[in-house]
Structure 1
């Protein structure tokens, strides 16, 4: 269907509407699942915002760690459940994809941390140029995302677009033999670190960027244009990865004249965030200014899944930084 309006197709020039239906964003998904923010975030990290999954899995999990496990045990970790092989069903929907093995291998490589064609090729055993067609198919089909650095001219970072596929390749596929023997508890216990570091962490960062893009104006962040990530060189450290950054609506990304309006950090760890995180954001802003970027007036935002220390909350009350926990991110204005 995605190629019906391509330049060489008969319908090209005759269509008057190209309406693309996307997934629910995290706030809409929480309302759809009718659950609390913490549980809604876990569902979103596993299944994403596709509304059709609720008909497949039924009710949301009960709050808490045990509730999540039992929900996973009867759904995506259950070899008798349709979601157990969901990636194959997704690939089957695209008629361009015939050899699913190479596409699953690409998904696996990206899930393992490969973010460029060269890195992916190294893991799947193919030359980067030979992967061009396959990567383009997966990008055009919405299976992979190509994310541009907000400040630097560099090749895009490749990530998995569908959380369900990410969960499958990080949790299900490496443990498929044990899961087929119905050892879901054993699998889940040894996969907790992977789930926290490689699924919840990146998903929380993406949710933070989504919040800035769609809801930042609710707290006075009015001049938000392009939102993304970047890396900032630092002579004192190895450099800094910036989870959340925005430039002014009046400027373009990857342009030295761009005005940076927001610098943020998103942490999904079990630790409360402290003023050390605010000091790091100030340090990054100073570095950007020293490198010639227009960042002197950039606002600071800290996102935390597990709250903030009292001294950081005091700094927030004084207007030095905006603080967002899960409840704040999910709360409608």
Structure 2
């Protein structure tokens, strides 16, 4: 990947005020677009739907006098006609001759950079490729011509897309476009702290509940009619008047999201897989057993959901051969754990009574595991290394059989650091409880886990027990913290501390 030359501070354009907390992404795009070096360059911008890619790219072209084209599923002839018409409006020149092929269109687009660096955006690029499979090779050939000695073109082409499997395929190492990319940028959902600021929520408990419902997708505040809960007392009513109301776009968003991301796959199976994960199934075998389907069918569906960044997987912190899955999009978890059995009823009955009935399910199946994930995210993104004695390398869920109790002992936040050998150093073993005041018996749980790990040969001499709570800690546990026996992390530290 090439290194963009930053424009001087005097010429750097600040990100638009309406672009929330995307300063790093804006700076990277602006640096790429304003790179004054000779030679055409290419950037790849990807990310799931609703993350603000289009808004950011339009703001970039507007601020720098660039050209933006939003692709749509259409025939090649229709796409070429639309592009020709929009390019004509942009340049103000006489309409070009009818383009017979993408070779003509790509040459005309890149010619915009003959006189100065200029951003040229083709948004939702994957929509063009099914009807024009040679397009990546055509762009590659055009760049090879522009990079010949004596050419001074400085086009800054940005290809963007939301279809993640297609974007990965188009720009993988085997693709003709891969070697051209000077910048690869992925827009991800806001993290839990950014989401609290975006929704204007100061109360950490309320912020976590809202994040458990809508996650960090920027568009969802607009989909909720810019309606944010005013307090914890307003949370239940907010859920009823937004995500559970057929009058808001949020009501069907989970359905639309899955439909758009999974294309024509067996959506019924995808919904069932997500419902199984939302119910607590975390391994491929558990999911297949829950659905009564074969491992092969389940694995195909799981692979599709992971390719679209709707599920992610990782090894168990204590048993690396056990691969655990969890949903990356909170709205899908909320949908399949809470709403799915009552969707048709919600279209006919008042949401308040249904929500009263399913609120315990939300607390146990959504808020609790979401809190644990937020704790893991805090470890990786915000915690000071001194808390664990070293910089964390991974934070994951761990589960270990306890022969004495004929049951598994779980730790929701297992932190490992770098090590010279194959096994990463065990820095901390922690339990996370969203709605429990934590007491000394939680510390005893951790001590039992550490004893089992030591019996298995794990070095736990410097492993720090940790308790994460959304409610608080008893005086006894606070005393243990003062003695250096345990680390206690509450909501204030998760949202405001390090």
TM over 0.5: yes
Q: What's the CA shift string for 1:176-199, capped at 9, x where partnerless?
A: 233112321111111121011100
SS in 1 for 2:353: helix
SS in 1 for 2:305: helix
User: Structure 2 CA distance, aligned partners of 1:108 and 1:222?
Assistant: 39
Q: Is the 8 A contact 1:149 1:230 kept in 2?
A: yes
Q: Is the 8 A contact 1:225 1:250 kept in 2?
A: no
User: Structure 2 CA distance, aligned partners of 1:305 and 1:75?
Assistant: 25
Instruction: Judging by fraction of residues, say which structure has more strand.
Output: 2
Report matched runs for 1:1-333 at 5 Å. 1=161, 2=164, 3=166, 4-35=170-201, 36-57=203-224, 58-65=226-233, 67-94=234-261, 96-217=263-384, 220-223=387-390, 224-237=392-405, 238-250=407-419, 255=422, 257-269=423-435, 271-333=436-498
Q: Is the 8 A contact 2:284 2:298 kept in 1?
A: yes
Q: CA deviation at 1:171?
A: 1.5
Q: CA deviation at 1:233?
A: 2.7
Q: Is the 8 A contact 2:278 2:366 kept in 1?
A: no
Moved more, 200-209 or 25-34: 25-34
Q: CA deviation at 1:131?
A: 3.3
SS in 2 for 1:89: helix
Number of residue equivalences: 328
User: Structure 1 CA distance, aligned partners of 2:449 and 2:292?
Assistant: 38
SS in 2 for 1:233: strand
Q: Is the 8 A contact 2:318 2:400 kept in 1?
A: no
The runs of 5 or more residues in structure 1 that have no matched partner are none
The Cα RMSD (Å) is 2.0
Q: CA deviation at 1:97?
A: 3.5
Q: What's the CA shift string for 1:214-254, capped at 9, x where partnerless?
A: 222176334122211211232322231111111122357xx
SS in 1 for 2:384: helix
- The higher relative CO (CA closer than 8 Å, separation ≥ 6) is in 1
Identify if the C-alpha distance between structure 1 residues 136 and 191 changes in structure 2 by more than 3 Å, giving closer, same or farther.
same
Identify if the C-alpha distance between structure 1 residues 233 and 133 changes in structure 2 by more than 3 Å, giving closer, same or farther.
closer
SS in 2 for 1:266: strand
User: Structure 2 CA distance, aligned partners of 1:68 and 1:219?
Assistant: 36
SS in 1 for 2:187: coil
TM-score scaled to structure 2, two decimals? Answer: 0.62
SS in 2 for 1:6: coil
Identify if the C-alpha distance between structure 1 residues 73 and 220 changes in structure 2 by more than 3 Å, giving closer, same or farther.
same
Identify if the C-alpha distance between structure 1 residues 143 and 282 changes in structure 2 by more than 3 Å, giving closer, same or farther.
same
User: Structure 2 CA distance, aligned partners of 1:95 and 1:329?
Assistant: 34
Q: Is the 8 A contact 1:118 1:127 kept in 2?
A: no
Q: CA deviation at 1:17?
A: 2.0
User: Structure 1 CA distance, aligned partners of 2:434 and 2:460?
Assistant: 26
In structure 1, the partner of 2:143 is none
Greater radius of gyration (CA)? 2
User: Structure 2 CA distance, aligned partners of 1:14 and 1:189?
Assistant: 55
Identify if the C-alpha distance between structure 1 residues 130 and 25 changes in structure 2 by more than 3 Å, giving closer, same or farther.
same
User: Structure 2 CA distance, aligned partners of 1:105 and 1:248?
Assistant: 36
Q: What's the CA shift string for 1:285-312, capped at 9, x where partnerless?
A: 1221121001111012111111111111
Q: CA deviation at 1:313?
A: 1.0
User: Structure 2 CA distance, aligned partners of 1:203 and 1:157?
Assistant: 15
User: Structure 2 CA distance, aligned partners of 1:46 and 1:115?
Assistant: 20
Q: CA deviation at 1:6?
A: 3.0
User: Structure 1 CA distance, aligned partners of 2:400 and 2:276?
Assistant: 26
Moved more, 229-238 or 184-193: 229-238
Q: CA deviation at 1:155?
A: 3.6
Identify if the C-alpha distance between structure 1 residues 297 and 131 changes in structure 2 by more than 3 Å, giving closer, same or farther.
same
